[in-house]
């Protein structure tokens, strides 16, 4: 059963504890609210301000699990706080670990402050959870996919358009990289994991994947950076700096370039793109 009073109180307290700068919002000069405004939280949670306001007033329909997950992320809750929110709403909390999409508040705080470099948060299966505006301009919107297509590795072997942003001479190496990476994740997570399910699906759908899988390789990485073909900016030679959340197995990836290089100058144009 939903605990409406407890849910309303918890939402208010978490909203009041957050400051605009905690979530990447400007403070402004006329702010009188202690913490965030309801409409700001609603926007962060991707729900209507009216719906959120009714929850804080112990009213409104019973929120779904998807809605609670969105609010937990928008309010930058820790895993313990997220689970508490689910219990208050009368739902069983999602599992923790590598299969969870819940981003830690610490990683979100860093992500929200990255305004001058392309940055995105991805899972160990290459599923994009968050992108800033510059990352969307660089890579396209990779958060829009659903099902197995959320995984960049799956799209690489099943959607030919995915390869258009990579030089043709890099395709073989990238195919081996995605195959070896998936093999390593399956070994860590086991035969009943989402990674193993993705591997079985690729083996059944992609002859190319089967060929690389039979090679049995592991340990392939982008040691010297990554090359992309941008539709407006052309060839980009990028460094990918990773920050790993070892509890959730999420990576914050920041794309950079050597100062003074042609790619560095092109990256300055991303905001215009």
What confidence tier does 262 reach under pLDDT thresholds 50, 70, 90? very high
Has residue 27 got a pLDDT over 80?
Answer: no
Q: Check residue 246 and give its pLDDT.
A: 85
Lowest mean pLDDT: which of 25-34, 38-47, 85-94, 123-132? 25-34
CA 241 distance to own-chain centroid: 15
| pLDDT tens digits along 82-118 | 999 999 999 999 888 777 899 999 999 999 989 889 9
Q: Check residue 98 and give its pLDDT.
A: 75
> What percent of the chain has a predicted confidence (pLDDT) above 90?
82
Has residue 221 got a pLDDT over 90?
Answer: no
Has residue 56 got a pLDDT over 90?
Answer: yes
Q: Check residue 106 and give its pLDDT.
A: 92
**Burial classification of residue 20, based on how many CB atoms lie within 10 Å of its CB (0-12 exposed, 13-18 middle, 19 or more buried):** middle
Residues paired with residue 228 on neighbouring β-strands, in sequence order: 236
The count of C-alpha atoms lying within 13 angstroms of the C-alpha of 49, restricted to the half-sphere facing its C-beta, is: 6
Secondary structure of residue 49 in the 3-state scheme: helix
Q: Are 204 and 153 in contact (CB under 8 A)?
A: no
Has residue 30 got a pLDDT over 80?
Answer: no
Residue environment code for 228-261, b if the CB has 16+ CB neighbours within 10 A, otherwise e: bebeebeebbbeeeeeeeeebbbbbbbbbbeeee
Secondary structure of residue 75 in the 3-state scheme: coil
| pLDDT tens digits along 245-255 | 988 899 999 99
Q: Are 85 and 77 in contact (CB under 8 A)?
A: yes
**Burial classification of residue 270, based on how many CB atoms lie within 10 Å of its CB (0-12 exposed, 13-18 middle, 19 or more buried):** buried
DSSP state of 238: E
Q: Check residue 198 and give its pLDDT.
A: 97
Secondary structure of residue 169 in the 3-state scheme: helix
E strand spans, the chain: 119-122, 128-131, 226-230, 234-245, 250-256
Enumerate residues 6+ apart whose C-beta is below 8 A from 230.
138, 165, 236, 266, 273
Q: Which residue has the higher pLDDT, 24 or 164?
A: 164
Lowest mean pLDDT: which of 188-192, 205-209, 218-222? 218-222
């Amino acid at each position: 059963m939903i605990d409406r009073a407890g849910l309303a109180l918890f939402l208010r307290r978490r909203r009041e504890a957050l400051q605009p700068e905690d979530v990447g919002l400007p403070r402004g000069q006329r702010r009188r609210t202690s913490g965030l405004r309801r409409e700001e939280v609603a926007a962060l949670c991707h729900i209507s301000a009216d719906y959120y306001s009714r929850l804080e007033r112990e009213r409104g329909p019973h929120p779904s699990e998807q809605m609670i997950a969105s609010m937990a992320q928008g309010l930058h809750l820790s895993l313990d706080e997220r689970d508490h929110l689910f219990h208050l709403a009368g739902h069983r909390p999602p599992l923790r670990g590598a299969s969870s999409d819940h981003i830690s508040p610490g990683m979100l705080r860093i992500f929200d402050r990255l305004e001058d470099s392309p940055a995105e948060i991805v899972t160990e299966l290459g599923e994009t959870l968050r992108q800033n505006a510059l990352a969307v301009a660089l890579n396209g919107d990779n958060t829009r996919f659903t099902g197995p297509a959320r995984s960049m590795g799956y799209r690489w072997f099943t959607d030919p358009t995915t390869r258009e942003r990579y030089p043709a001479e890099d395709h073989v190496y990238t195919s081996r990289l995605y195959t070896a990476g998936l093999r390593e994740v399956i070994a860590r997570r086991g035969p009943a994991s989402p990674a193993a399910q993705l591997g079985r699906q690729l083996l059944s759908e992609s002859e190319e994947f089967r060929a690389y899988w039979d090679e049995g390789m592991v340990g392939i990485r982008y040691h010297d950076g990554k090359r992309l073909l941008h539709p407006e900016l052309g060839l980009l030679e990028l460094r990918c700096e990773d920050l790993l959340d070892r509890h959730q197995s999420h990576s914050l990836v920041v794309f950079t370039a050597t100062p003074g290089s042609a790619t560095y100058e092109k990256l300055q144009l991303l905001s215009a793109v």
